[in-house]
Amino acid sequence: MNEIYVTGHKNPDTDSVVAAIAYASLRNALGDRNYVAARQDHVNDDTKRVLKFFGFEQPMRLRDVRTQISDLDFDTPPALNSTVTMDRAWDTIQEQGIENLPVINEDGTLYGMLSAANITGYNMQAIESGRVDSIPIFNLLSVLEGRMVAEVPEKSVISGEIVIALPQEMESLLFNTSQSIVICGSQPEMIRRALDMDVECLIICQSEIKPEWITDAGQTIIIATPFDARYTASQIIQAMPISRHCRTQGITCFHLTDYIDDVRDKMYESRNATYPVLDENEKVVGTLSRYHLLRPRRKQVVLVDHNEMTQSVPGLQQAEILEIIDHHRLADIQTRQPIRVRNEPVGSTNTIIAEMFQQHGVLPSSKLAGLMAAAILSDTVMFKSPTCTKRDIAMAERLARIGNITLDEIGHQLFSSSYHEESSLKDIAVRDLKEFYMADQKFGVGQITSYDSESLMERKDELLEIMSEIEKERGYSFILLMVTDVLLGGTYLLFQGPDDIIRNAFQVEPKDHMVFLPGVMSRKKQIIPMLTDLWG
């Protein structure tokens, strides 16, 4: 069953991570067992702390949703051991209706590739030469459904010219007796003569075995078979192990994790019709052909807490978007077909998802309810953000009751330790940094929310220096960092870039790359719209 990934935006905050967990939980509770919560980047310290408090693991990391070999319906023909006979391989190819088979070692790793052409080419060569070399006796007994009548212990393989001992051909046996594989029927005289000549192997077809033949075998191996002489002759060459004639050089292999863009390029450079597919342990799991790339099965995703390409997982163009659940402005994501979109003007994506729980009649667990309440408080900054609505407040209170926890307790977990001395200052600065594009401007806006911003502001110069480095590294026109203080109910806005941007956007006079904006708590509603109007 194919997984459907529920993922939030880059540099995920608490609302984004919890939205993925909550919506995957809802869909799975409704019977859709293949929804998986995911995240794009590292989880920040605040979110880690809340997840741990409510007993949740971090969602899996989803680095890319480009189509991979694992997403394709590649073929899974039998993979034959290298010791298998040509006879068995030919039957398999005929039964499966295929042209190529992977050949494997004992541990399942690739030995080579065997084609129908390899088998027919070998058969023609063997028929033309009339001899075989080093065929395992074990294999010969298998293809002839034979039994060993007389064994030479030191011999495990046989070689020689294949001779059907017709009366008119017996004289020819005198010329190379030690390298002959003689096939006889119920012909005691010919059998006796072959034994006297000390042939390599005597195969007796559809005949009773006399005890004296065994006694006089000497260095001749004697095998009895229920088949007639001519069929036996044709089967002897089929006892050869496929390892001798499969292709082992110049094989292009692909892995389950390979992206189809790269696979196409390699296929264009190769003339092979079929390519083995290997797993992470180098074991063969199937075969791939060009036609498998014509209509690839795409990864399926649900986007939560964003609907903007620059904020979404890499490779989204190759994925199939099933749904979008968000509370931000509509942006630039396009889909190949109509999808379900739920975009509402509330302060948190988890408010929307909690309402979906209600609408479907699914009660979240107490732990999940508490976690969703924390996400709402985080995104609305304890209801002080202008993005906060009455719906957010009512839903957070309802979820807290289900979780048997107070909103104050949740707030303490969220904001009392937002700034950690053990975290690098650069990590603090970029952990909630989002990129935006407006007109010809590419810029970043980060946000740090805390109960006490004083310790951070004491390191203002260091923060500005880090911001300058990020601005150059990412090619921004400018960069802003919001240090939002829950108790002060406002934001210290640090910036690197022209003073005019801050002056014109916020109607304030900046000083030393900083301004304090009382009442400003929301990046989405109080920072980005001002910048949008500046270039609108």
Please state the three-class secondary structure of 131-178 as a single string.
EEEEEEHHHHHHHCCCEEEECCCCCCEEEEEEEECCHHHHHHHHCCHH
- For residue 342, being part of any structural domain is answered with yes
Residues 336 and 480 in one domain: no
Question: Please, how many CA atoms are within 13 Å of residue 237, restricted to the half-sphere of its CB?
Answer: 23
| Same domain, yes or no: 474 and 393 | no
Element housing 483 (H / E): strand 478-485
pLDDT at 473: 93
Q: Is residue 510 part of a domain?
A: yes
Domain with 158 in it: what CATH number? Answer: 3.40.1390.20
Residue 167 burial by CB count (10 A; 0-12/13-18/19+): exposed, middle or buried? exposed
* 215 and 178 within one domain: yes
- Residue 505 forms part of a structural domain: yes
Query: Are 224 and 195 in the same domain?
Result: yes
Q: Which two tokens stand for residue 216?
A: 């006089």
| Domain-embedded: residue 252 | no
Does the structure show a pLDDT above 80 at 1?
no
State the first-to-last Cα distance of the chain, in angstroms, to the nearest integer. Answer: 47
Provide the pLDDT for residue 472. 94
CA dist 428 and 44 (Å) reads 9
Return mean pLDDT, the chain.
Answer: 90
Q: Alpha-carbon distance 499 to 514, whole Å?
A: 9
Model confidence at 196, pLDDT cuts 50, 70, 90, reads confident
Q: Are 45 and 413 in contact (CB under 8 A)?
A: no
For tokens 């979110």, what's the residue? 47
Q: Could you report the per-residue pLDDT of 46-80, keeping only the tens digit for each?
A: 899 999 999 999 999 999 999 999 999 999 999 99
Mean pLDDT of 169-182: 61
Examine the domain organization and report whether 404 and 496 are in the same domain. no
Could you please report the per-residue DSSP string of 195-213? HHTT-SEEEEES-PPPHHH
Domain boundary among 197, 217, 244: 244
Looking at the fold, whether 211 and 138 belong to one and the same domain comes out as yes
How confident is the model at residue 398, as a pLDDT?
97
Inside any domain, residue 286: no
Predicted local distance difference test score (pLDDT) of residue 172: 52
How far from 239 is each of 230, 272, 360, CA to CA, in Å? Answer: 15, 27, 64
CATH classification of the domain holding 13: 3.90.1640.10
Residue 267 lies in a domain: no
Binned at pLDDT 50, 70 and 90, residue 171 comes out as low
Residues 54 and 164 in one domain: no
pTM value?
0.69
Q: Does some domain include residue 274?
A: no
* 91 and 240 in a common domain: yes
Give the tens place of pLDDT for each residue, 261-287. 999 999 988 878 899 999 999 999 999
Residue-range definition of the domain harbouring residue 108? 86-244
Q: Let me know: does 329 contact 532? Beta carbons within 8 Å.
A: no
The identity of residue 428, as a single letter, is I
- Asked if residue 52 lies in contact with residue 385, where contact means CB atoms within 8 angstroms, the answer is no
Question: What's the pLDDT at 187?
Answer: 86
Domain end marker among 380, 415, 450: 415
Check if the beta carbon of residue 238 is closer than 8 Å to that of residue 52: no
* One domain, residues 216 and 92: yes
Question: In this structure, are 237 and 103 located in the same domain?
Answer: yes
- Specify the pLDDT at position 406: 95
Quick one: pLDDT at residue 19?
Answer: 98
Widest CA span of the chain, in angstroms?
118
- Is 341 a member of any domain? yes
How many structural domains compose the chain? Answer: 3
> Are residue 358 and residue 474 in the same domain, yes or no?
no
Whether residues 41 and 113 fall in one domain: no
Q: Which residues contact 254 (CB under 8 A, 6 or more apart)?
A: 69, 263, 266, 275, 276, 277, 278, 288
Rounded to an integer, the average pLDDT of 376-381 is: 93
Among 80-89, 420-429, 473-482, which stretch is predicted with the lowest mean pLDDT?
Answer: 420-429
CATH number, domain of 469, equals 3.10.310.20
Domain end position, chosen among 244, 267, 285:
244
Taking a C-beta distance cutoff of 8 angstroms, is the pair 59, 38 a contact? yes
